[in-house]
A and B are shown apart, each in its own frame.
Chain A
Amino acid sequence: MKKIIVGIKRVVDYNVRIRVKPDGSGVMLDGVKMSVNPFDEIALEEALRIKERGANVEVVAVSIGVADTQQQLRTALAMGADRAILVQTDGPVEPLTAAQTFLAVAKKENPDLIFLGKQAIDDDANQTGQMLAAIWERPQATYASKVEIADGKASVTREVDAGLETIEVDLPAVVTVDLRLNEPRYVKLPDIMKAKKKPLDVTSLDALGVSAGVLLKTVKTEPPAQRQKGVMVKDVAELVEVLKKKGLI
């Protein structure tokens, strides 16, 4: 095990309450706090733990996005990544484009593992890792809640609807991580200072030979239908009466 690539996406912070623009052209992003996608923090944490368990491994954080995405990559460097690569672009990046970009990076870097979040909390697409594994022609282990590496293989426990499933994959492989894999560390101030000196390379989709197509055109964005506020009952007896009247119990 020599190298692990971790995908880092810049997204609207988990705690921000999203508002849709009145003209339906998207969501309001002006002045909104941006952060590392929470699942990507878990992905990075897992890579760092493998490194800290004694593997002589380089952890490379890779992102695709606007120039300001350097902020999120600096956070990744402060957490402990060794270096970072920003594939800078101003346009929308669809999952297939992201997968093609990671493939181009993987061909240059030859990682043993690529850790990605299982989904980004903005588009909730849950596609990039699987698409990357497909076009890289390598195994995928999605929704990982436990990862064990030995002898060029990874044993991955996956969170599936019925419970847990374990699969074994040959390396290199793509692993997408779920919430229970670990709890990411907090970044300390000295680490932030140190991170400023770590290498952060900026490249472009062109330089990697990736053309960003828009295959799915978003034509409208709207808020979800609101549920009507219901009735308050005063006690359990009244609750049961209401539910019986509705034929629910």
Chain B
Amino acid sequence: MHKVLIVGEHDGKTLNPATAKCVTCAAGIADGEITIVLLGADTAAVAAQAAALAGVKSVLRVDRAENQHPLAAIFAPQLAALAADYSHVFGPSTSFGKDLMPRVAGLLGVPQVSDLMAVEGAYRFKRPTYAGNAIVTVEADPARKLIATVRVASFEAAASGGHGAVESKTLSVALPSHTRYVGAKSGSTDRPDLQTAARVVSGGRALGSAENFKMLFRLADKIGAAVGASRAAVDAGYAPNEMQVGQTGKIISPEIYIAIGISGAIQHLTGIKDARTIVAINKDGEAPIFEVADVGLVGDLFQIVPELERLVGG
């Protein structure tokens, strides 16, 4: 029997969909028993959401004023203490999980599997290296605890309909004071979240300016899509970094990804490999993006995008 502890990500109100994908990943471990742990100032609302995920046996709430903000230095010692009762500890491969999980592994002196993309056994997994150009199968020692971040684009979200038991947990763990939360600035919009959106419209350097990028926002709003950008577009200042898709940005798996003026560098393709359908619009018919696109259209994006916006609106 394996006991898997999943570190739930949330903002105090809503459980991040990445957590439900971690549950599906953990369910791939035979004889696994799944527990979700939530750290926060008040996790009552998110605990109910976590308990409703199919396959979750129990939900642990660790409510504490210091857990208001997800600081790795604060969360990690609590998770390291909780980990004693589990064989595996999983977190999502989001900026939250990527920051936190290796600190837990470090405290426990055990290895971490980053970006776990397939479960082949309780201690045998696949993960991407070299920007997804080489997939390695790794085996860990069953005698040690195993920490992993789950590549959320590789898994479907667990269904709802579960009835996990919710339990509050008090941990007597001393927390450091050397790390303090100051504030956050989010480019929050009414558009769907890029990481979890079913539809994504994404632009590259060919857009030419931040002003021209607005064209993509209009198209996205018409079809209810999130907006992404290539690293080249971000580096050129056309779009903020939280919109970046690729090896150094977000790895996403939408139903449809519309790449506009994106040539398709391998680092970008890494971020969209799991998209169900890729549409490429580019003036260069030789652009590498067409090698992976399901539907391609060669032409001038400045003519195509407004026309597309008009036609999909009808």
Contacts and interface: CB of A to CB of B under 8 A. Distances in A.
Nearest to A233: B297
Given A163-B188, A216-B138, A236-B308, A230 B296 contact: yes
A95 B311 CA distance: 51
B131 A221 contact: no
A170 interface: yes
Contact of A220 (B94, B136, B295): B136
B65 interface: no
**Chain A interface main SS type:** mixed
A224 B273 contact: yes
Given A142-B98, A231-B294, A232-B297, A124 B114 contact: yes
Contacts of B124: 219
A143 B129 CA distance: 19
A126 B98 contact: yes
Given A140-B103, A222-B134, A161 B109 contact: no
B296 A138 contact: no
B45 interface: no
Given A131-B103, A140-B103, A160-B95, A167 B71 contact: yes
A168 B182 contact: yes
Contacts of A162: 184, 186-188, 242
Contact of B99 (A138, A143, A168, A179): A143
Given A133-B73, A218-B138, A166 B183 contact: yes
Interface string B279-314: 100000000001111111111000010011001100
**Chain B interface main SS type:** mixed
Contacts of A180: 234, 241
Interface string A152-167: 0001001111111111
Given A124-B130, A127-B112, A169-B178, A140 B73 contact: yes
Contacts of B94: 161
A207 interface: no
A interface, size bucket: 35 or more
B298 A243 contact: no
B180 interface: yes
Given A162-B186, A231-B296, A248-B256, A131 B105 contact: yes
A124 B312 contact: no
Contacts of B6: none
A12 interface: yes
Interface stretch (B36-44, B51-59, B139-147, B162-170): B139-147
Given A95-B102, A220-B136, A167 B182 contact: yes
B199 to A, nearest CB: 8
Contacts of A90: none
B106 A96 contact: yes
A132 B137 contact: no
A151 interface: no
Given A131-B103, A163-B185, A166-B182, A216 B140 contact: yes
Contacts of B144: 215
A82 B169 CA distance: 50
A206 interface: no
Interface string A107-134: 0000000000000011111111111111
Contact of A127 (B102, B135, B186): B102
A163 B240 contact: yes
Nearest to A143: B95
B133 A248 contact: no
B295 A96 contact: no
Given A240-B312, A249-B312, A167 B179 contact: yes
11 contacts: A122-B129, A124-B247, A127-B114, A129-B102, A140-B179, A170-B178, A216-B113, A221-B136, A227-B292, A227-B294, A236-B304
